[in-house]
A and B are shown apart, each in its own frame.
Chain A
Amino acid sequence: MVTTSDELDGALGPDAYFAASLAEDKFKIQHCRDCGEYFFYPRAHCPGCGSGDYEWGAASGRGVVHATSVVRLRPEDGADYNIALIDLAEGPRLMSRVVDSAPQDVRIGDDVTAFVGEIDGNRVVLFRSSDTDGKDGG
C-alpha cells in the first residue's frame, strides 16, 4: 500500500523538504488534509490522526511565548541567550529563541513573529517581538 505523498515535496521527505525551504528563507509547516490539524516538526504522517495526506503551507509566523529560559554562559564562552517554546497561531509548539530583546526580558504571553535566521551556520526559525518589527515570517 503506497501512502499518499504530496506533490509539493516530490522526492524529498518532509525533513529534507523543510530544510530546503529554510534555505530559501521560507518557514513552512504541514497541514493534515484528513483531520485539518497543522503539525510541527516535519513528519511523514500526521501525529494526530496518522494520515499521510498532508500539504505544506507558509506558516503565518505569528506566535506567543509559552515558556522561556535563559542559558547563562561564563563570559569567556559568549553571551547569554534565550531559549523559548513558542505556540504558533496554527497550533503547533516549537523550540526557538526570541532574539531582539535581552534574553531575561522575554515574557510568557509575549506576541512574537518568526523569521529565518542562522545559528552557527544552520538555517533556523527564530522569533522577534511582534511590536518592534513589522517584517513577516517569510
Chain B
Amino acid sequence: MSHALRGAAAIVGIGATRFGELPGRTHTENMSEAVHLALADAGLSKDRIDGVFGADFTDSMVGLSMTEYLGLNPKYIDSTNLGGSSFVNFLQSAALALHAGLCDVALIAYGSNARTGGRAGRGPGSVPYETVYKPRQPINAYALAASRHMHEYGTTREQLAEVAVAARGWAQLNPAAFMRDPLTIDDVLGARPVVDPFTVRDCCLVTDAGAAMIMVAADRAKDFPQKPAYLLGIGTATTHSQIACMPDLTVTAVAQSSPRALAMAEITLGDVDVVELYDAFTINTILFLEDMGFCPKGEGGRFVQDGRIAPGGELPVNTNGGGLSCVHPGMYGMFLTLEAVEQLRGQAGERQIAGAEISLCNGNGGLLSSQVTAVLGAESTL
C-alpha cells in the first residue's frame, strides 16, 4: 500500500523575481513580488491562501511578518528554520497540512536582498565552540569536508572544479541565471582563494531574489491552469549543527533522507529524469550524488568528470545553473524546487530535459546539517 503522502499534494503555482541585483528593494518586497507572480501563475487571489510557510535568516518570526505584509489570515503557519533546506522541508509540512485538511491553499515563499542589501546568508546561530576560532562560515565547514574527501578518496581540485564548470554550462542555457560567462577548470582553480581548498568559484553566488510556490491537495490540483507537479516522496534527516559534530565529514544525512524519499515515491534512481541539488559549494554536488547512490562513496569526483552532469551529459544535475551560477540569495532551497517544477511542466526552454517526468530534489541546511530530499512527478507518475 502506498504511503498516504505519495501524490497527496501538488505545486500548482510558482513565481520568482529576477535573479541577481535588485538594488533598493527589501527582502520582503522581493518575497511579495514572487508571491504575486505565483498567485497569477495559479490563477488565484491572495485571499485564498490559508497556509503560510516561510523561513528567513534575518527574521526569526517571518511567518508572522509575511502574513501581515501580504494581508493574509492563515489558519496554518510554519516558519521552521533549518537553513537552506527549509523550503524543501516545507513541501512535507505543507503536504501534511493539506492532506489533513488543516489548510486548502499553502503558500511557501522566500525573499532576500543578500547581495545589494549586504545581508548574506549566515551559518547557524548556535555554534559557541566554533565561532571563537573565526572560521569563515559557512564556507569553512564545507572546505573542511572537502579536505577530508580529498584525503580519503583522492578527490582532486580539478574534479571539484568540474562541478562549477558543469553548473556554468547549464547557466549559459538559462537566461535568468546571474553568471553566464564561460568558465573553465583553470578559471576555477585560478580564482581568488577563499578558504582552502576552495576558491571563490567553488562557492555559490550571493544574489538578491524572491521565489514562491502555491501548493494544494491533489484532488484539486487539476483545477489550475498549469500542469501540477506532485509530491511523490519526501524524506528528512539531520545529523548535527556544528561541523565538528558531523559524524562523518564524507557522508551526509542524504544517505538517510534520499532512500526515504525514493521509497515513499516508489521509484528507483533509474526513474529520475533530472536532479536538482543544493550546490552551495562544489563538494556538495559530489557528496549528494554519492549519498543518493548515483555512484559509490568516494567515486563522486570521478563521476562528475568529463561533463557527465553538464549539458549533454548522462545525468542532468542543477539544470538552472545551480547556486553556483544561477541564483543563491542566502537560502537556495526554493530555487532548486522551482527548477524541478519548470522541468516537469516542460517550461525550461533551452535547458529543458525532454519528457522529464520525475525530478529528484535535495535541500541542504546549516553546515551539511539538515538534508531534505523530495521527489516531484508529473501527472503520469501518480
Contacts and interface: CB of A to CB of B under 8 A. Distances in A.
A121 to B, nearest CB: 10
A136 B242 CA distance: 27
Interface string B118-147: 000000000011101111100010011101
Given A69-B140, A95-B133, A108-B151, A85 B195 contact: no
B244 A72 contact: no
Interface in B172-223: 192-197
B134 A67 contact: no
B243 interface: yes
Contacts of B144: 67-69, 83-85
A49 B151 CA distance: 31
B99 interface: no
B148 interface: yes
Contact of B244 (A85, A122, A124): A85
B249 interface: yes
A40 B245 CA distance: 9
B132 A122 contact: yes
A95 B195 contact: no
Contacts of A109: 151
A119 B193 contact: no
A100 to B, nearest CB: 16
Contacts of A44: none
Contacts of A67: 144-145, 147-148, 151, 249
Interface string A60-79: 00000011111110000000
Contacts of A15: 128
Given A69-B143, A83-B133, 9 more contacts: A41-B242, A69-B140, A70-B195, A72-B192, A72-B193, A72-B196, A93-B245, A94-B244, A119-B134
25 contacts: A41-B129, A67-B145, A67-B147, A67-B148, A68-B144, A68-B147, A69-B140, A69-B144, A69-B195, A69-B197, A70-B193, A71-B140, A72-B193, A81-B134, A83-B134, A83-B140, A85-B144, A93-B245, A94-B244, A95-B129, A96-B133, A97-B133, A103-B196, A108-B147, A119-B133
Interface of B: 128-130, 132-136, 140, 143-145, 147-148, 151, 192-197, 242-245, 249
